[in-house]
Structure 1
């Protein structure tokens, strides 16, 4: 079984092909071009480099959010279109799960943080040893997240593009309990999406492309503006 993984929920675009024996090919870019420009050439490249090709795929896994509203729409649209053409199932993979997955060997808590703007982060708290999620997914202010982690009172490692702007908050509030993953772990990888997707498909969690939905957690700016303009009309 070979799975194509597509990650587009953050400023990084990443794709990979995974099989039973591991990751066969992976590409990642962080540049000024939009994901709509980057993704298709990258997908074509990893399918060729892996030797799998489009017809060798059993499914497509794609980042399901939370993250950039535009990035998620581009990634999901790409995954859906390709899956429909090839007659394949798809699986949405949590962006937070994708960030936390490479840190599964950490003995303490794992806390992925994505910059959600407006002084908030998208986050969840994982205990990989017990294989449970202790909190989230949620959009929350960094100091409120620190309070939750203080109550849990365990060492925690942070990873994600929310680390640079808010690392000082976590250091100040958590002290020696806080650790930070290397820069290489601050963006979700296509390889993690593909590997998590492989597990999802093995467990029968693939769905029809038309059934795939993103996990936004909070409404987009456009939805907030619309609701403000139409709140009177809705309540009348």
Structure 2
């Protein structure tokens, strides 16, 4: 059973292949070129490297958001096009779930934070005990509000996501030693986490037609917000 996953919700462009409970390969780039330039060459390299054809993929997976509106559209369009070409199902995985999965080997609280601008973050709160349990909704909230939520937990919490670089000073000042930063290799989105989550779900019978795969934005784009105000 082969799962090909794409992660394009932030600055990173990444693709990964998982098979029967193990990661077979992953390509990861954090570069100024756009995802539309990166993704297909990365997919071609990955398939060539592991010696399989596109038709050998059983399910295609995409990080569905929240995140960059443009990046999500590119990644999802890529996955839908590939799935349609070989008539295979797809799965969308919440980006925050993928970030939390990066830290699944750690026991305790996990809090992925993605910079949503204007001093807000996309986030949720998870507990890991060998598996992953989400304790709160997917949220787009001010970072100070998230900190107040986390103060109600009397235990350390590990953070990852691109919001760490932006908001670490205020988080550390408010939470002190309870605030832990993830190792650098687990800080950002990984296609391997999307692939592993999708593989587990697909084995449980979860799958979609490519036409059903949609981005999960959490909030409207700035252009949509401006239009709504004018209306």
Normalising by structure 1, what TM-score?
0.94
Q: For residue 28 of structure 1, what is the aligned residue in structure 2? A: 28
Q: For residue 81 of structure 1, what is the aligned residue in structure 2? A: 81
* Equivalence map 1:32-51=2 (5 Å): 32-51=32-51
Whether the aligned pair in 2 keeps the contact of 1:2 and 1:52 (CA below 8 Å) is no
Q: For residue 112 of structure 2, what is the aligned residue in structure 1? A: 112
* 1:159-193, Cα deviation, whole Å (9 max, x unpaired): 01000110111111111111000221121111111
Q: For residue 183 of structure 2, what is the aligned residue in structure 1? A: 182
- Aligned-partner SS, 1:136: coil
- Aligned-partner SS, 1:48: helix
Whether the aligned pair in 2 keeps the contact of 1:8 and 1:14 (CA below 8 Å) is yes
- Aligned-partner SS, 2:151: helix
Structure 2 CA distance for aligned equivalents of residues 208 and 10 of structure 1: 25
Q: For residue 160 of structure 1, what is the aligned residue in structure 2? A: 161
Superposed displacement of residue 107, structure 1: 2.1
Structure 2 CA distance for aligned equivalents of residues 21 and 171 of structure 1: 36
Q: For residue 146 of structure 2, what is the aligned residue in structure 1? A: 145
Structure 2 CA distance for aligned equivalents of residues 29 and 37 of structure 1: 11
- Aligned-partner SS, 2:96: helix
- Aligned-partner SS, 1:33: coil
- Aligned-partner SS, 2:124: strand
- Aligned-partner SS, 1:151: coil
Return 27-36 or 103-112, whichever deviates more: 103-112
Q: For residue 52 of structure 2, what is the aligned residue in structure 1? A: 52
Q: Which runs of 5+ in 2 are unaligned?
A: none
Normalising by structure 2, what TM-score?
0.96
Check if 1:125 corresponds to 2:125: yes
Superposed displacement of residue 131, structure 1: 4.1
Runs of at least 4 residues off by over 4 Å: none
Structure 2 CA distance for aligned equivalents of residues 205 and 222 of structure 1: 34
Whether the aligned pair in 2 keeps the contact of 1:64 and 1:92 (CA below 8 Å) is yes
CA RMSD in angstroms, aligned pairs only: 1.1
Q: For residue 233 of structure 1, what is the aligned residue in structure 2? A: none
- Aligned-partner SS, 1:171: helix
Q: Which runs of 5+ in 1 are unaligned?
A: 231-236
Aligned length: 230
* 1:63-108, Cα deviation, whole Å (9 max, x unpaired): 0101000000000000001110110100001111111112112222
Structure 1 CA distance for aligned equivalents of residues 84 and 68 of structure 2: 24
